[in-house]
Amino acid sequence: MTEVYLNGKYVGDVENPQEFVDHIVTERRKNVLTDNLNVLYNEKNNIIEIESSKGRLRRPLIVVKDGKPLITEKHIAQLEKEELSWTDLVSQGLIEYLDALEEENALVAFTEDDLTPEHTHMEVSTLSFLGVCASLVPFSNHNQSARVNAGAKNQKQALGLYVANYLIRMDMDVNLLQSPQVPLVRSAMHTISEYGKHPSGQNLVVAIMSYKGYNMEDAIILNKGSIERGLGRSTYFRPSIAEELRYSGGLIDEVGVPDKEVKGYKSEKDYRLLEGDGIIYPEAAIAEGDVLIGKTSPPRFLSSMDEYNLASNLRRESSLTVKHGEKGVTDMVLITENEEGNKLVQVRIRDLRTPEVGDKFTSRHGQKGVVGLIVNHTDMPFSASGIVPDLIFSPHGIPTRMTIAHLLELVSGKVAALGGRYVDATTFDSEKESDIRNELLTLGFRENGTETMYNGLTGEQFEAKIYVGNMYYLKLKHMVANKLHSRARGPIQLLTRQPTEGRAKEGGLRLGEMEKDTFVAHGASLLLKERFDADKTVVPVCEECGLIAIKDEYKNRHYCPVCGDDVEITNIELAYAFKLILDEFKSLCVYPKLQLKSMY
Amino acid sequence: MDDVLKEYSKQLPIKIIDEVKKSVPKNVSKSKLKEIMENILEEYKSMKVAFGESVGLISAESIGEPGTQMTLNTFHFAGVSEMNVTMGLPRIIEILDCSKSLSTPMMEIYLTSPLNKGKGIKEYAEKIKETTLGECIKEVSVNLGNSTIEVETDDNKMNILKITKNKIIKIVNTSLKGYTVKESGNLIILKPRGKEDTVNNLFKTKEKIKSIYVSGIKGITQVLPVKKGEEYVIVTAGTNLKEVLGMEGVDSSRSFSNDIREINSILGIEAARQSILNEVTKVIDVQGLNVDVRHIMLVADTMSISGLVKGITRYGVVSEKSSVLARASFETPLRHVINASISGEKDELNSVVENVMLNQVIPVGSGVPKLVVRKE
């Protein structure tokens, strides 16, 4: 007796489990049962599990009977003539979807040659177990699996042509590569996914060598000449959005050039780019602090008393300005209204980004790196035929990572560029390495892809032969221009008087607990004090009760709120955060009495 | 020779002088020895820690940094087979927190000759191991008809353990109350005295019988004779130092447990300090890391300085700190502040943490010396 479970619930027993399972499968293939149903006969535990619930991952496989796939040449011919479609194959039971459960009972052949009578299924294609991104990695069957994974992930972050209608879109935080190219070394997935319609990289001449140590630790060297010719040039778009919000009492925000009387009025210079409607004009060069959309808001906390008070009746300034560290050109202005019918203004900023030191680039093999140096065209190494690499990649990135496909792509790219054709590098189904090498030989180059090269600075010939070729490189969306940050003085938090956090708020760089420990370990105690001086304050303390006293700046006198005027009050220097914790102690009804004594 | 060494006895620790005695040839000339001693003295002085050096923090960093490289949760197989001991980070935490229940309590028992040559060691080890009745019986069954429990003994096992049936009956008799125990054939029959027992109770006692203590040392669940260098030692799972050290044939000067609390209660605080040192060093050595002993010594000292072993937890060493603020900055701040306010505690701001909080010069390194200039 074998127990049967449907979607995890016990439904009954069967006498002959194998027969039962086979029956379910045949009925499913005959379309009597739903196609979304999988069954597992777990012989070890003697149970049958049937699943038809939502959210299972399933993949299509060709059904095999007696070592022969059910899909024959005839079907393929019909498919080519478009007499048959994929859904026909599924409904005829020639292809079926298996989930993780049923795969336990299946024996899947990878290729037709592997088929034996024991096999129950065959892969639709050798590529089909990979996702779209992973199958875009050329020669990926020659790579370590972790690198294919990284390569697939990196491609998602690459800049390219993400949509064709980008000019009329208001997408947040997007990049466009200015002259994207189709890869020379491609896989079948490039054709299937119509990669040519949305390419996201460029074919570069890559030399694998070292250059004055500037490509240590995965850094790469770029040719300045290549950058000037358009390598890795991209545009950054980012809209700023302002809304006319409605408040209680019929008050409303107002877009327009603010009056000089408005609370928080910046300076005339900051508003200079605004037109009469309070919105900036397109194609204006903007820098940090410039106002994009002028806006004023009604005064806060309007009480009945204040209505007679002229001073508090002023509107507040709430304009949209260019954020800290940003620059660019206003690209497009859009005026519309939101769901509530309020006026909505969007201004799109455009910024040209040429590659600079710190920008991130990668090949399609998880070999990512940051630009370490940009070298003048004249100082780059060159080959006997005068070829100058666009990019120099460090050889130390290869041995530990074992990305053989990276090396294969390099020669294949060279063959493709010289031979004027594309090289097919589909996973498990690529052109042969030996064929590519021979072709390179017939093109008049050394078959292993190396060339004699010369030092660009001295003109001397390098002793080693340099491995050069063409590779498809991607510019990733992580650019230093969006990340670079430093601060000496700047904004502080209201509560703690400590520096704000984060680049957007021009924050400080935190010296954390463990970093503090290193100062202590070195005995650099005065340096440590200075480093933590950011919230240093001078506080008057009553010598009598040990609480914080009051200093009246107008009357120029000190007094203690507890003991009165007639006590000695001394100024001490401490961290504002400590003054705060003393206040918190007081709120707990704990009396923190300070006893002062001279430091010397 | 002794005269020269005596001169230095005030400037150098005894241990160093003893070491010199051992390693210097007997016929060394007086001037040569003097030269050696001068060099040692100079080296010794240069090794001294300067005043104001933050040794505690440096120790913490020196143990903590290699700790990040430690493979998490490794089991080290001490000896040939079977015995596995917690090592790596979990073990370090166990030692430093001074946990009450160890995940793998263990003993290493050194033996006197002839046992340490391996003679009769198997039988001896078997004697140490705690044996329960369950191990020397084949089957226990409940006879519902007579409402008795029938125990069938395993004669083979009994021979190895050198236990007779009579002895078993005696043991069962003393540890199980309310039952008469009789031998009948190859069975031992237990009959409830007085009224008939409920079926439920019968089954409960059936399980109880299996865990009755028969022989060996309580707490020791596994024994494993291992050859260590030239001699044989017994490694055990489970500890009971008190009993083991009292046994004949055990070298009580070298046998030890890995339970620091147990060592403290039986051998005293100095032994506990040494065993903290040994256990931490063992873990670090197994991982192939290198930490100066002095860092570990400092930790062992702070843990045992009060005369009791205290873990580095908020209940242990941290609760001993004199500063309220320092205690509050390490876990459960509110509790410390409120308790301090009840007794009116005073914080003298003598240590590092408090002064960092107040943004004052910490009394460490360059913060120690003070310079006052008199105004003219």
Q: Which amino acid is at A409?
A: E
CB contact (8 A) between residue A590 and residue B338: yes
Query: To which residue do tokens 């292809």 refer?
Result: A95
| Domain span holding position B34 | 2-47
* B76 domain residue, yes or no: no
Asked if the C-beta of B29 comes within 8 angstroms of chain A's C-beta atoms, the answer is no
Band of residue A409 on the pLDDT scale cut at 50, 70, 90:
very high
CB contact, 8 Å: A110 with chain B?
Answer: no
Binary contact (B365, A574; C-beta < 8 A): no
Backbone angles phi, psi at A203, to 5 degrees: -85, 115
Tell me which fold the domain A534-587 belongs to: DCoH-like (3.90.1800)
Query: Does residue B24 sit within a domain?
Result: yes
User: Within A490-538, where are the H helices?
Assistant: 513-522, 525-531
Boundary residue ending a domain (B215, B239, B261)? B215
Look up residue A239 and give its two tokens.
């809209």
**Model confidence over A541-574: pLDDT tens digits?**
999 999 999 988 898 888 999 998 888 999 999 9
- The DSSP annotation for B106-141 comes to EEEEEB-TTGGGTTTHHHHHHHHS-EEGGGGEEEEE
Q: List, for residues A70-114, the tens digit of each pLDDT value.
A: 999 999 999 999 999 999 999 999 999 999 999 999 999 999 999
| A596 close to B (CB below 8 A) | no
User: Among B324, B346, B359, which would you mutate to test the A interface (most chain A Cβ atoms within 10 Å of its Cβ)?
Assistant: B359
Q: With beta carbons less than 8 A apart as the criterion, state whether A335 and A327 touch.
A: no
Residue B187 lies in a domain: yes
Q: Which A positions 487-526 lie with beta carbon below 8 A of chain B?
A: 516-518, 520-526
**pLDDT tens-digit profile of B259-306?**
999 999 999 999 999 999 999 999 888 888 889 999 999 999 999 999
How far apart (Å, rounded) are the C-alpha atoms in residues A238 and A328?
A: 10
Give the Cα separation of A363 and A401 in Å (integer): 13
pLDDT digits (tens, 9 = 90+) for A449-500: 999 999 999 999 999 999 999 999 999 999 999 999 999 999 999 999 999 9
Q: Does B370 touch chain A (CB under 8 A)?
A: yes
Contact assignment for A525 to B57 by CB distance below 8 Å: no
Percent of chain A, pLDDT > 90?
A: 81
Burial (CB count within 10 angstroms: exposed 0-12, middle 13-18, buried 19+), residue A232: buried
Chain B environment of A535 (Cβ under 8 Å): 359
Among B161, B181, B215, where does a domain finish?
A: B215
Burial B144-178 (b: 16+ CB within 10 A, else e): eeebbbbbebeeeebeebebeeeebbebbeeebee
Q: Does B13 touch chain A (CB under 8 A)?
A: no
> Min CA distance, B375 vs chain A (Å)?
13
pLDDT, one tens digit per residue, over B203-250 is: 777 777 878 888 888 888 888 888 888 889 998 988 999 999 988 889
Query: What is the pLDDT at residue B205?
Result: 79
- Domain ranges for chain A: 2-123, 140-163+179-232+357-475, 235-353, 534-587
- B8 has a pLDDT exceeding 90: no
Question: What is the distance between the alpha carbons of residues B69 and B65, in angstroms, rounded to a whole number?
Answer: 7
Please give the backbone phi and psi of residue B238, each rounded to the nearest 5 degrees, phi first. 90, 150
Provide the pLDDT for residue B216: 83
- For residue A534, what are its two tokens? 């950011």
Tell me how many domains chain B contains: 3
Among B183, B215, B247, which residue terminates a domain? B215
Which range is most confident: A171-175, A403-407, B171-175?
A403-407
Q: Is the pLDDT at B332 greater than 90, yes or no?
A: no
Contact B359 A520 (CB under 8 A): no
Say yes or no for a CB contact (<8 Å) between B366 and A528.
Answer: no
* This prediction's pTM: 0.76
pLDDT at position B194 is 67
CB pairs under 8 A between A and B: 76
**For the segment B59-103, what is each residue's pLDDT rounded down to a tens digit?**
999 998 888 887 665 555 544 455 677 888 888 989 999 988 898
Instruction: Yes or no: say if A246 and A298 are a contact pair by the CB < 8 Å rule.
Output: no
Mean pLDDT, range A446-450, rounded to an integer: 94
Give chain A positions within 8 Å (CB) of B357. Answer: 575, 577-578, 581
CATH 2.40.270.10 assigned to domain A140-163+179-232+357-475? The reply is yes
How far is the C-alpha of A521 from the C-alpha of A513, rounded, in Å? 12
A536 in contact with B, Cβ within 8 Å: yes
A303 band by pLDDT with thresholds 50, 70 and 90: low
| A575–B contact, CB cutoff 8 A | yes
- pLDDT more than 70, % of chain A: 98
- Domain membership flag for residue B10: yes
B367:A532 CB<8 A: no
Q: Measured between CB atoms, which of A524, A536, A591 is closest to B366?
A: A524
For the domain made up of A235-353, the CATH class stated in words is: mainly beta
Q: Return the sign of the alpha-carbon dihedral for residues A526, A529, A530, A536.
A: negative
Q: How high is the pLDDT of residue B5?
A: 84
**Least-confidence region, from A255-264, A292-301, B73-82:** B73-82
> Distance (Å, rounded) from C-alpha A460 to C-alpha A350?
44
In Å, what is the CA distance from B245 to each residue of B110, B127, B232, B252, B313?
A: 10, 14, 17, 5, 31
Residues of B with CB below 8 A from A588's CB? 334, 337-338, 341
Contact by Cβ (8 Å): B189, B148 = yes
Distance from CA of A511 to the nearest CA of B (A): 13
Q: Phi-psi region for residue B229, left (φ > 0), alpha (ψ -120 to 50) or beta?
A: left
Contact A525 B337 (CB under 8 A): no
Judged by average pLDDT, the poorest of A111-125, A400-414, B104-118, B142-156 is B142-156
Helix (H, G, I), strand (E, B) or coil at A384: coil
Q: How far is CA B374 from CA A22, A600, B199, B369, B371, in A?
A: 102, 11, 95, 16, 10
Name, in order, each residue with C-beta under 8 angstroms of B215's C-beta and a sequence gap of 6 or more.
B127, B130, B131, B161, B163
A578-599: pLDDT as tens digits: 999 999 999 999 999 999 988 7
Q: Provide the annotated active-site residues of A.
A: 218
Residue A325's H or E segment, with its range, is none
**Whole-number CA gyration radius for chain B:** 30
- Classify A399 as helix, strand or coil: coil
Whole-number pLDDT of residue A600: 66
B80 touches chain A (CB under 8 A): no
Handedness of CA A477, A480, A482, A483 (dihedral sign): positive
Q: Which residues pair with A123 in a beta bridge?
A: A61
Q: Considering the domain boundaries, does residue B145 fall inside one?
A: yes
The CATH number assigned to the domain holding B341 equals 1.10.150.390
| Residue A281: pLDDT band with limits 50, 70, 90 | very high
Instruction: Answer whether A529 sits within 8 Å of B337, measured CB to CB.
Output: no
Q: Would you call B61 an interface residue with chain A, using a CB distance cutoff of 8 Å?
A: yes
Looking at residue A147, what is its pLDDT?
Answer: 95
Residues in chain B closer than 8 A to A523 (CB atoms): 52-54, 364-367
